[in-house]
Every structure is written in C-alpha cells, then in structure tokens.
Chain A
Amino acid sequence: MTSSHTNQFVRMAEKERARVNYFIDGQPATGLLGDTLLTAVMLAARRVHDSDFTGEPRGGFCLMGACQDCWVQLEDGPRVRACSTPLADGMRVLTQSRPVVAA
C-alpha cells in the first residue's frame, strides 16, 4: 500500500503561531514561527535532501543534531543543519542536488 501523503509530519498542536514565509527550491512555502527548518520542510514534503552517493531521498532521522542527515544548502551559500536551524522569514532552502561549487 502506498501512502497518498505529500507531507511527512502532521501538526498536532501549537497551531496558533505567527506565519513565516520561506522558499523551498525557489517555490514559496509557509511555516510557523518556532518551526525548525526541518519541521517546516517535512510538513510540506516527504524529503529534505538526497543521499550523497545513491541520490535516495532522506527526511532527517534523529532530530537532535546527532545523525547529521539533514544538512541542506541555503541559496546564499551556507550549509545548515535543518533540525537545529530555526525557520526564518525569507529563508531560501535548496533540497535538490547541491549547486555546483565554483566554476
């Protein structure tokens, strides 16, 4: 049986919070103030990046900054660990393959 969900996480509580506008792969998205970047993306999708070598989808794992499987690239360059990065207004995260370095 395949799931018809397009999002992994489900909000159960704390829904009355300020909205935060951000971008996933150039597309506008919204989260709530206090979401981590990983939470926000996993509420909108079922993956946050692809594995380095086989390109299989990954959605984070430990949520506590131990597994290091949620590092993503922001469009302006820095790498951030999504589970420990607060979502900020205007944040532009890339989840597809990393932009080519230099050249």
Chain B
Amino acid sequence: MNSAERLDFDVIVAGGGLVGSSTALMLARRGLKVGLFERRYCGAQASGVNYGGVRTQGRPVEQLPLAIRARALWSRLPELVDTDGELVVSGHLRLGRSDADMAALEAYARVANPFGLGLRVTGGAAFRERYPWLGAAAFGGSLCPTDGHANPRIVSPAFARAARAAGADIREQTAVTGLRHDGSRFVVSAQHDSGARIDARSTWLVNAAGAWGNTIAGQFGETAPIEPIYPNMLVTEPLPRFIEHNLGVYGGGVYARQVTRGNVVIGGGRGTGDGEYAQPLTDTTRRVMRVACELLPALREALVIRTWTGVEGRTPDDNPIIGASTTTPNLLHAFGFSGGGFLLAPGVGDVLAEIIATGETHTPLDAFGIGRFLAASATTFATTPDTTTTHPSTESHE
C-alpha cells in the first residue's frame, strides 16, 4: 500500500460545485493556500444541471444583500474566470396570474426596491401590448432589468479552472473519507478514484458539499433538516427567438428562458431520486409542458429533446445555510441552497473568503446560520450518503 500524500493548507474546501469553486478562487486571489476535494468533477452536480437563472428578484428580503453582492460579481465573470458564462442580462419577468398575484408583486417591489433591484410592475392592456408572445394566463409581471441567465454547464467548471490558475490545489475524483478537528487543525483524509490517498491538514474547513453538506455537518455534531429535491428540467430544440426575459411566475411552478442559440429551457416540478441519484419524471414533464403553454402558447408545436434533473439540498425555509459552525471554530458551512444557488454562489465564495481573510464580512448572514434549526426540531430527514461511495457514472443526472 502506497503511503498517503501529505498536504497542508490554510483552507480546505469540501465540494467542487460552484460554491466550493468560487470559494477556492476567492481565497486563492487573497493569497491563501487552498485545497479543494471534489468526489466527481467540478460542477457536475446541481451546479452544472440547474436552470441557469441569474436572479435577484423573488428572493426573501434577507437574501437580497448577498444577492446584490453576487450579482455584481456576475458582471465581472470575464475578468474573474476568463469567460462570460454566456450571461445574458435579459431581465427577469416574474409573472402574476391573478389579481392577488399582482398585489403580491407590488408588495414585493416595495420591499425589494430599496435594495436597488429596480423592479417595475405592469399589467393590463399595456402589458398585453408589450408582450404579445405571452398567453392570456399572464395578467402582468414584475420586471427586474438587471437579472438574466447564464449557462451552468460552463460557469462551474470555469470557476474551478480559474481557482487552479490562481494557485488553488483542486482535486477532482477525490472523495473525502474522513474529517475531524484535532484540537488545533482540521484533519482531512481523501482518496482519488485511482486509490491514491491524501492526508491533509488545514486551519479552516469550508463545507460546500451541496446536497451532501449534512454528511459533513454531521461529522461535527450539527445537522440541518435538509431534504434532497430534484428540480425537473426540459429543453426544446432551437427555436426562433421570442422569449425576451428569464421568466418566472409568482407562486412558482414553472420557469423558462430562451438561450441565444434558441433552445428554450423550462423547469418546474420535481423528478425522483434517492438522495444520491435522480431521474426526471415524465408525469411532471407533461404537466410542466401544459403550464408552460398557458404562458407561452407558441411553444405548443416545439419539440422537446431532453429532460434531466439534479440533486439539490433544500431547507425548510428555503434559505441557504451559510456561516459559522455552532460547534467547531474555523468551520464554515455553505450548502442547502434550495434551488436558488446559481446566482448566489460567486457571492458566497467572496463572503467566505472575506470572513477567513479578515475575520468578518459586511454582508449580513444572520438569517442563514445552521443554528436556526437546532432550536426548532430535533428531527432531521437528511439522507446520509456515504461520501466514499464510488460509482460507475461521472455526471449522472443530466
């Protein structure tokens, strides 16, 4: 048996999704020595197969400062990661389908606009005239002009590449096999698919393990009531461009965007899974097709060419878990993004790097502490997949 590779870092990041990769990048840019372990490929999980919405609108108000900070980083993607990630600043149009929905959109705009979202709510005849391609089911909508969408398949790997280029030690196909704090440092053992072992130490540990974040949290005596969810996605063949904005609806259920090449990506509802692997469901797909056509009648004759899903971690209040551990110093959690992580992730990485480098951050994270669940209920229904599991597939969900 070969001996393990012995490594020392300032920070170890567990998980190579967009959150972990952006954290590694931001830390490396600040001159810290970072190691990242990802058991498959960076950006292969939720980061790579999510809807691709770059959206500040619609978030609970406590997320808005972080969302604004993240949105500013999105505009700097070419400088940070050498690609624009196919970001389209299309605006996000959140549709209302009833008078009650419209009232709710107006109320949200009053609360959110002080943060700088620039929301404009319109309805009635002016709305119909402005958007002839929207179906009668759309009473009106709230437009956030600075929101948009991007390509998750290229953004996440780009952050990992940039982190590596900035000096981070990014290890793919490398699962964390053991984690503990020995009183002064984190002791992390990991193993590459080839069998090569790693024995690492670090001052800080960032838990960015996505839907599997609870496994790591559990190692340190704190778990969160995370449930795995499987957002059902479908995509059409390339169509002539007609959907101007990234679309959502108040109350949820369907969201749609049209990429530059013309394909329309539509999400809504849930697939099925076991916490580790997931599949889309055709019942969901067909239901979402109907709902989408209520809003976008022109889709009716379009061809769907693929459906997919991914594994996301969802919290009971749909807010992420970001911030310090309640049990262990120098442990930061960043997981459970409940389907809304794509926009936030670059900001999360920046915030975590700021905390580690300076000891604090000006972006409020109080609403996201892992401790907020401990008082509420002792039960958890998280799955605890074995982080050492090897499996035949690599990017299995999409």
Contacts and interface: CB of A to CB of B under 8 A. Distances in A.
Interface of A: 52-53, 71, 77-79, 98-103
A2 B350 CA distance: 61
Contact of B238 (A52, A102, A103): A52
A102 B261 contact: no
Contacts of B238: 52-53
Interface string B252-263: 000000000110
Given A53-B238, A101-B302, A102-B133, 9 more contacts: A52-B237, A53-B261, A79-B302, A99-B240, A101-B242, A102-B132, A102-B297, A103-B132, A103-B242
Contacts of A99: 240
Nearest to A51: B238
Interface in B121-179: 132-133
A37 to B, nearest CB: 16
Interface in B22-51: none
B240 A98 contact: yes
Interface residues of B, number: 15
Contacts of B300: 77
Interface in B225-258: 237-240, 242
B133 A103 contact: yes
Given A52-B262, A53-B261, A102 B242 contact: yes
Contact of A101 (B240, B261, B303): B240
B31 to A, nearest CB: 43
Contacts of A52: 237-238, 261-262
B301 interface: yes
Contacts of A101: 133, 239-240, 242, 298, 302
22 contacts: A52-B237, A52-B238, A52-B262, A53-B238, A53-B261, A71-B303, A77-B301, A79-B301, A98-B240, A99-B240, A100-B240, A100-B242, A101-B133, A101-B240, A101-B242, A101-B298, A102-B242, A102-B297, A102-B298, A103-B132, A103-B133, A103-B242
B276 to A, nearest CB: 32
A48 to B, nearest CB: 16
B240 A78 contact: no
Nearest to B264: A101
User: Which 9 residue pairs of A and B lie closest in terms of their CB atoms, listed nearest first?
Assistant: A102-B298, A102-B133, A101-B298, A52-B238, A101-B242, A77-B301, A101-B240, A100-B240, A102-B242
Contact of A79 (B242, B297, B303): B303
Contacts of A79: 301-303
B137 to A, nearest CB: 14
